[in-house]
């Protein structure tokens, strides 16, 4: 990310506060308001869907205001950096995210049906009134976060919008994995309250971790280099520090290609 596009301290704090507020909605619902597991999970699912759609809004606006090569000929992180790509960044993000989100919804419906069939009412009971309030509150907070970003969106680099989308997709993966492993654990043990409380706590910590700055050192830590240089590799003649430097140089070149201005050719 270029230094000129870094958000100000006030913007960063406001964003973190908004993210914490969004995280708090289902957590408070479960721990304080006594929401059932099903009610909390539906609100989590809606948060993932709404968040992805509002990320797409950011991408559309950034593409219109600051057209870059990455929006139209996106080059993703890959080991084969010579492979050409013609993919639209927006289309790739929406297709991948919405497919996963739809799968989450289907998986959630099946699990809750099975829980209700097995008599686990504490997990499967749905309070639609609480869901409505929770979803409205989440939408309001996400829209506030969107408005704060839109005010600075023209100055964002493509890497900044790419990083925002990557973090959104990472949250989708976290929800996917916790649904698969967490809910099967609940069904197997029957300890819905205790295990679901742990699930909510871990989901909250995972969501909070995405607000932290990304650490990208130009050189690997010395202890890591010492360890990796002792591990047999496919390229024994190359030290770990050299491979690290090559990967970082390749990543910088990829980002620079995505940052190139995009000029629409007249027909």
56, β-bridge pairs: none
Asked if residue 257 is part of any domain, the answer here is yes
Same-domain pairing of 165 and 246: no
Same-domain pairing of 184 and 231: no
Predicted pLDDT at 24:
86
Same-domain pairing of 117 and 65: yes
Distance of alpha carbon 65 from alpha carbon 251, whole angstroms? 25
Same-domain pairing of 102 and 126: yes
Asked if residue 238 is part of any domain, the answer here is yes
Would you give the distance in Å from CA 240 to the centre of its chain? 29
Distance of alpha carbon 253 from alpha carbon 255, whole angstroms? 5
- Token output for 138: 């989440």
DSSP designation for 73: S
Same-domain pairing of 174 and 223: no
Contacts of 161 (CB under 8 A, 6+ apart): 58, 59, 62
DSSP-assigned states of every residue in 114-139:
HHHHTT-HHHH---HHHHHHHHHHHH
**pLDDT, tens digit, 9 for 90 and up, residues 153-208:** 999 999 999 999 988 888 777 777 766 666 666 656 655 555 566 666 766 676 66
Asked if residue 267 is part of any domain, the answer here is no
Rounded to two decimals, the pTM is: 0.81
Same-domain pairing of 96 and 54: yes
Q: What percent of the chain has pLDDT over 70?
A: 70
Distances (CA, A) of 50 to 99, 113, 253: 14, 24, 33
Asked if residue 45 is part of any domain, the answer here is yes
Same-domain pairing of 149 and 236: no
Same-domain pairing of 123 and 148: yes
Q: What percent of the chain has pLDDT over 90?
A: 31
Asked if residue 105 is part of any domain, the answer here is yes
**pLDDT, tens digit, 9 for 90 and up, residues 39-67:** 888 898 899 899 999 999 999 999 999 99
Same-domain pairing of 239 and 147: no
Asked if residue 12 is part of any domain, the answer here is yes
22 neighbors 141 (Cβ within 8 angstroms): yes
Mean pLDDT computed over 217-229:
73
Same-domain pairing of 166 and 253: no
Contacts of 187 (CB under 8 A, 6+ apart): 111, 114, 115, 118, 120
Same-domain pairing of 180 and 250: no
Asked if residue 110 is part of any domain, the answer here is yes
Number of domains comprising the chain: 2
Same-domain pairing of 175 and 224: no
Owning domain of residue 228: 217-262
């Amino acid at each position: 990310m270029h230094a000129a596009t870094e958000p100000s301290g006030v913007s960063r704090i406001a964003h973190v506060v908004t993210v914490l507020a969004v995280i708090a909605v289902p957590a408070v619902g479960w721990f304080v308001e006594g929401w059932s597991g099903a009610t909390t999970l539906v609100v989590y699912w809606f948060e993932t869907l709404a968040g992805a759609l509002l990320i797409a809004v950011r991408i559309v606006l950034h593409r219109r205001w600051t057209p870059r090569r990455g929006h139209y000929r996106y080059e993703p992180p890959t080991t084969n950096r010579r492979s050409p790509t013609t993919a639209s960044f927006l289309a790739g993000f929406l297709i991948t995210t919405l497919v996963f989100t739809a799968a989450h919804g289907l998986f959630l419906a099946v699990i809750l049906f099975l829980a209700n069939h097995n008599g686990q009412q504490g997990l499967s009971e749905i309070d639609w009134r609480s869901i409505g309030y929770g979803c409205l509150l989440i939408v309001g907070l996400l829209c506030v976060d969107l408005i704060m970003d839109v005010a600075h969106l023209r100055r964002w680099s493509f890497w900044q919008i790419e990083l925002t989308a990557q973090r959104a997709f990472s949250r989708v993966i976290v929800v996917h994995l916790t649904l698969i492993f967490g809910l099967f654990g609940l069904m197997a043990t029957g300890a819905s309250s205790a295990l679901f409380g742990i699930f909510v706590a871990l989901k909250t910590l995972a969501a909070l971790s995405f607000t932290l700055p990304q650490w990208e050192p130009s050189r690997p830590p010395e202890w890591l280099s010492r360890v990796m240089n002792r591990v047999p590799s496919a390229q024994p003649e190359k030290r770990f520090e050299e491979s690290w430097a090559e990967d970082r140089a390749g990543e910088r070149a990829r980002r620079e290609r995505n940052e190139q201005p995009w000029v629409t050719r007249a027909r």
